Amino acid sequence: MGVMDGILEGAKVAFSFHGILFVLMGVFLGTIIGMLPGLGPITAIGVMIPISYGMDANMALVMMAGIYYGAIFGGSTSSILLNAPGVAGTVATAFDGYPMAQQGKAGKALAIAAVSSFIGGTVGVILLMLFAPLLATVAISFGPPEYFALMLLALTAIASLSEGSTIKALISGTLGFMVAMIGIDGQTGTSRFTFGSASLLSGIDFLVIALGIFALAEVFKLIITRNDIDSGPNKNIGSIRITKSELKEMSGPASRQSVLGFLIGVLPGAGATIASFIAYITEKKIAKKPEEFGKGSIKGLTAPETANNAATSGAFVPLLSLGIPGSGTTAVLLGALMVMGIQPGPMLFTEKPDLFWGVIISMYIGNIFLLVLNLPLIPYISKLLNIPRPMLISLVTIFCLIGVYGISFNTFDLYLLLAFGIIGYLLRLVSFPAAPFILAFILGEMIEQSVRKSMTISNGSFMIFLERPITLAFLIITVLSLALPPLLGMRKKIKSIE
Amino acid sequence: MLSSQNKKVSLFLIVLGVVFVIMSVRLPEYPLVPVDADAIPIILGCLLIFLSILLFFIKDEPKDSEDSEQSEPFFNADRKMLFLFGGFILLYIVLLEWLGFLITTALFIFTSTFALGYKKHVTNIIVAIAIPIVFYYLFNYVLKISLPKGILPF
């Protein structure tokens, strides 16, 4: 079947009544959860997994994807209105969005953010349509050694690109990998680290990790900060009209950053957060009046908002065409898909074109819905920011508990959830990033299996990883991504001494 | 010697890594595969030890204001609240299958929202009763995931 037929199949899925209904549901929920400070897309997707049981896989994927980009879209609202980013990807949005809101132009800021997000999201999806099949065609020839090297690259990239210390990120990843080792080994049947518990034989469910390390840990953090942010935005947000000259000012950063943001999103390890910061910095560097940045500049608001949404589309490239997530959020998305029995990857492109293209085409519809939701309706939706924190904390906790109980009907998993919530909170307390943990947990078993399959193919020789050009290239990039930053840092130090 | 946070965390992780390696080495052998079940865990344990040793020699980042209050007692108001909330969750898990979803959840929402400082008690009661009923209906009848009914007859 050709690509055109696949796109048509996908369009049938996306434009069906259910397709439209579920993408609307996804982006709506994503907007709301993304908007609430402290709760990010990972929590949003995790909480929705139990709801999606028994749903048609196509529709579940369409909805989950909608939640993801909807959350990034919605996160900008609280960045602008409260100066409290709803999600990490919209931190840079507050730099110019919040000053604008303080000048009484909150409505305008929200409108600019919505239009920029729409442009970034839509351009991102167009590029996704071009890139994903291309990559899938290449990836179809990948064997276990290539996958091993690629996953290793994804892990080290997220560690070296994440905020703060690389060592801490690597430790976080190692810990996640270790937790993935719990349970019966698929190849030999050895039960590992189960301490004789029958409940641990099948390993720890990824939902326990996702909801514990992310959602519950975020709830614990909210308990500490619940009194810091005064809840509720100002009543009057002002006009949401954008003038022609303002649109003209937006056009430059929007067109540049939608492409740049997408490319950053495709890279393993870098996502919406990094894309938005890079966009903000580059636009500030090339701007004619950089002094306006940080004081309510239209360009300064457009750049990160375009880039973070474009990056979200970009993140779907490795997820859909390789089956390898490049970020914490896409890792949870992958976990959610596997719960539903879908294994993303190059085979998805050839064997389930309706699913592959269905989700991509639904993103066009989703972005249009988001524009509508975020423009005229935003004054009403932003009222949800008035939910009192204590109530929010209790309700999200209940969501986590019931979500986990709904998959296992076993209170043992609930105790595990609480334990991982505490671990996740402690990790944050000592500033260890949580994203490498979840990525390593989800990739861990796949990495182990791919190493062992490779070694079985090669009869126990390590040469298999060095003889294949693609594998070797990935491994070299992996080593460079770890070794270069410290070496460059040392050179800087030596120079500064001289 | 253990003044810095990184050093404390590092030592804890080194101990964890050593225990993990010992446990991995003691896994039963399976001779028919080139890479046995213990190989990757041993590598991971050693990696953790190696990274933790590196961490030991890294200076702490400048602390945020929230961590810097060294003189404050260990059980400050926030920590107390965290422990209390953790206790509520624990209690919820213990009671869930016995009292049933509806009662336990209603109790949990009301008490924890109250404990976290929400003052409008009537709203709290309405939410604490309405939300469990909506969830229960949604899960049991729409999604066909049966939540524990406990001591209630429905």
Mean pLDDT within A270-276: 83
What integer best gives the mean pLDDT of chain A? 86
Give pLDDT, residue B66. Answer: 46
CB contact under 8 A, B40 and A181: yes
- DSSP assignment of A257-299 equals HHHHHHHHHHSTT--HHHHHHHHHHHHHHH-S-GGGTTSS-HH
ipTM of the complex: 0.90
For residues B106-118, give the mean pLDDT: 93
Average of pLDDT values for B89-99?
94
Mutate to test the interface with A, among B5, B38, B44 (most CBs of A within 10 A): B44
pLDDT category at A497 given cuts 50, 70, 90 is: low
Strand A191-192 and strand A183-184: pairing? antiparallel
What is the length of chain B? 154
Contacts of residue B89 in chain A, CB cutoff 8 Å? Answer: 397, 401, 418, 421
Query: What is the distance between the alpha carbons of residues A23 and A64, in angstroms, rounded to a whole number?
Result: 8
| 3-state SS, residue A191 | strand
Q: What is the pLDDT of residues A211-268, one digit of tens each?
A: 898 889 888 988 888 777 655 555 567 777 788 888 888 888 999 999 999 998 888 7
The percentage of residues in chain A with a pLDDT greater than 70, rounded to a whole number, is 97
Residue A246 pLDDT: 85
Please work out, in degrees rounded to the nearest 5, the angle formed at the alpha carbon of residue A268 by the alpha carbons of A463 and A335: 95
* Residue in A closest to B111 by C-alpha: A394
Q: Which of B110, B112, B127, B138 has the most A C-beta neighbours within 10 Å, making it the best mutation to test the interface with A?
A: B112
State the pLDDT confidence band at A350, using cuts at 50, 70 and 90. confident
State the Cα–Cα distance between residues A207 and A186, nearest whole angstrom: 20
Q: Positive or negative, the Cα torsion across A270, A271, A273, A279? A: positive
Give yes or no for residue A51 having a pLDDT over 80: no
Q: What is the 3-state secondary structure (H, E, C) of chain B?
A: CCCCHHHHHHHHHHHHHHHHHHHHHCCCCCCCCCCCCCHHHHHHHHHHHHHHHHHHCCCCCCCCCCCCCCCCCCCCHHHHHHHHHHHHHHHHHHHHHHHCHHHHHHHHHHHHHHHCCCCCHHHHHHHHHHHHHHHHHHHHHHCCCCCCCCCCCC
**Confidence at residue A316, expressed as pLDDT on a 0 to 100 scale:** 92
Least confident of A33-42, A148-157, A171-180: A33-42
Strand partners, A192: A183
Q: Is A269 left (phi over 0), alpha (psi -120 to 50) or beta?
A: left
Tokens of A348: 């998805």
Cβ contact A174–B113 (<8 Å)? no
Least confident of A61-70, A376-385, B80-89: A376-385
What is the predicted pLDDT for the residue at B73? 61
Is 50 exceeded by the pLDDT of residue A298? yes
Q: What are the tokens at A357?
A: 């293209």
Looking at the DSSP bridge assignments, the partners of residue A184 are: A191
> What is the pLDDT, as a whole number, of residue A324?
87
Which of these ranges, A48-62, A110-124, A152-166, B54-68, has the smallest mean pLDDT?
B54-68
In tens, the pLDDT along A418-438 reads: 999 999 999 988 889 888 898
pLDDT of A64 over the 70 cut: yes
Q: Which residue of A has its CA nearest to B23?
A: A193
d(CA B83, CA B76): 11
A167, B51: Cβ pair inside 8 Å? yes
Instruction: Determine which of B89, B111, B121, B142 to mutate to test the interface with A (most A C-beta atoms within 10 Å).
Output: B89
pLDDT at B63 over 60: no
Model confidence at A498: pLDDT above 80: no
| DSSP codes of every residue in A121-138 | HHHHHHHHHHHHHHHHHH
User: For A360-465, where are the E strands, in sequence order?
Assistant: none
- Taking Cα atoms as reference points, which of A435, A203, A439 lies closest to residue A319? A439
What pLDDT is attached to residue B65? 45
Q: Where is average pLDDT lowest: A337-341, A408-412, A453-457?
A: A337-341
Cα A355 to Cα A56, A256, A330, A347, A381, distances in angstroms: 11, 30, 17, 11, 31
How far, in Å, CA of A81 to CA of A238, rounded? Answer: 12
Q: Do B96 and A414 touch (CB under 8 A)?
A: yes
Q: Cα angle vertex A23, ends A17, A29, to 5°?
A: 135
Which range is least confidently modeled, A239-248, B35-44, B71-80, B113-122?
Answer: B71-80
pLDDT at res. A232: 53
Which pLDDT belongs to residue A1? 56
Amino acid at B55: L
> How many Cβ atoms from other residues are within 10 Å of residue B115's Cβ?
15
Q: What is the pLDDT of residue B132?
A: 93
Residues A370 and A119 sit within 8 Å (Cβ to Cβ): no
What is the predicted pLDDT for the residue at B69?
44
Q: Is B139 on the interface with A (CB under 8 A)?
A: yes
pLDDT band at A490, cuts 50/70/90? confident
- Count of A-B CB contacts under 8 Å: 154
Tell me the average pLDDT of chain B.
85
Would the CB atoms of A50 and B109 count as touching at under 8 Å?
A: no
Q: Cβ–Cβ of A190/B37 closer than 8 Å?
A: yes
Compute the average pLDDT of residues A291-298. 86
Residue A411 to residue A416: CA distance in whole angstroms: 9
A chain contacts of residue B78, beta-carbon cutoff 8 Å = 223-224
When mean pLDDT is compared across A172-186, A303-317, A402-416, A475-489, the lowest value belongs to: A475-489
Domain ranges of chain A: 3-487
Highest mean pLDDT, choosing among A160-174, A231-245, A261-275, B42-56: B42-56
- Is a pLDDT exceeding 70 seen at residue B68? no
